Amino acid sequence: MKDINLIATTTFGLEAVAKRELEALGYGNIKVENGKIEFKGGLDDIVKTNLWLRTVDRVLVKLAEFKATSFEELFQGTRAVQWADWIPEDGAFIVEGKSLNSKLYSISDSQRIAEKAIVDKLKEKYPVEWFSKSGARYRIEVSILKDIATITLDTSGDGLHKRGYRDRAGDAPIKETLAAAMILLSYWNKDRVLLDPFCGSGTILIEAAMIGRNMAPGLDRNFDAEKWSIISPEIWSSERIKARSAIDFDSQLKLLGCDTDKRSILRARDNAANLGLEDDIAFFMKDMRDVDINDEYGVVITNPPYGERMGEREEVRKLYTDFGSKFRPLETWSIYVITSNEEFESLYGKKADRKRKLYNGRIKVDYYQFYGPRPK
């Protein structure tokens, strides 16, 4: 099956990074919209993109798109999809929905109509009175935006930020997809020192190690589409073998992370060990004010406390001021900080070269980028 319409969904603000990832994997004719990137591929591309995309939330199959201002239009448009090409008789299909600025505003009614249409269509292929839904999971979404219905099938299952290495989140976690984007938006490469002075459970540095080693982020997890009969196990096996053979075991990485919380450091070490990266990252318990910095042309990428939930606002203000006193004088270093605190630049003591609006979960944040010179 070729020329399947695929959608990579992203967090707002990361569309350009995700597009560059797709281009690096060899995809063209990419269409970018808010929160999603559309492209075409075959069944093997469903496997490849789930394994390799670092900044994407999910990979969806786009099955149909049509105008739907009535339940009859929604029913007929949904029924027109060749559902039996994807879903076997025992498929555990689930219909989810969302609606925005549309005449069909009732999500529950739209879900019910869509599921009725899917069942009606499947009965043409499978002569049964009811479907057991005892097999593999098929998550279908009916999304209606400005009276245009888009029918998609989720290939990923759990969101792609779940890499499989983080058993528990810290007190203020950052999603793996966002951490990877922060690295890809920076000047860091595997030949430069990287320091995270508020490393928490280690997500930013672990994502950097995976990028430095060219390790596919999806190698240590499973996907809904793995259990689908339409995609043979041989495709999954072949793509995983290719991904493992692409890992760079030779490069020497210099990744450093510190935190004042002992439990976070222990958790970070465990998380790195889950991927076999414990020798690539030095996690140590220390206040960032006391860290010795001797290297030139290093990079700081960090997600410090915001002052919203962790500690008092005045404590965070002092923390940012001390952070600026520590790192601002490092003339050859590049500094990247993500925070929701709108006072950050004034507290740090310098205006950022670039500020990018992003979201860390539901929190609106800015990614402050202070560029140092390129290594000589």
Categorise residue 266: left if φ over 0, alpha if ψ from -120 to 50, beta otherwise: alpha
* Res 170: pLDDT: 54
Sequence-ordered list of residues with C-beta below 8 angstroms from that of 360, at least 6 positions apart, any chain: 174, 175, 178, 303, 338, 340
Positive/negative CA dihedral, 66, 67, 70, 72 = negative
DSSP-assigned beta bridge partners for residue 289 = none
**What pLDDT, on the 0 to 100 scale, is given for residue 209?**
98
Residue 151: pLDDT above 90? yes
Q: Which residues contact 24 (CB under 8 A, 6 or more apart)?
A: none
Q: What is the mean pLDDT of residues 92-121?
A: 95
The CATH fold assigned to 4-154 is: VC0802-like (3.30.2130)
What is the pTM assigned to this prediction? 0.94
Cβ atoms < 10 Å from Cβ of 56: 30
Answer yes or no: are the C-beta atoms of 45 and 4 closer than 8 Å: yes
d(CA 195, CA 186): 13
Q: What is the pLDDT of residue 2?
A: 75
Pairing of strands 58-67, 148-154: antiparallel
Q: Which of 155, 136, 175 is nearest to 48 (CA)?
A: 155
**pLDDT digits 0-9 by tens, 220-240:** 999 999 999 999 999 999 999
Backbone angles phi, psi at 77, to 5 degrees: -65, -40
The Cα angle at residue 357 between residues 352 and 361, in degrees rounded to 5: 125
Q: Once rounded to an integer, what is the mean pLDDT over residues 256-274? A: 95
Rounded to the nearest 5°, which phi and psi values hold at 39?
-155, 170
91 falls in which pLDDT band (50, 70, 90)? very high
* Geometric angle at alpha carbon 234, from 233 and 235, rounded to 5°: 90
Sheet holding 255-259, edge to edge: 281-285, 255-259, 194-196, 299-302, 334-339, 363-370, 354-360
- 176-215+224-370: CATH topology is Rossmann fold (3.40.50)
Coil, strand or helix at 277: coil
Q: What are the residue ranges spanned by the domains of the chain? A: 4-154, 176-215+224-370
- As a whole number of angstroms, the distance between CA 155 and CA 60 comes to 6
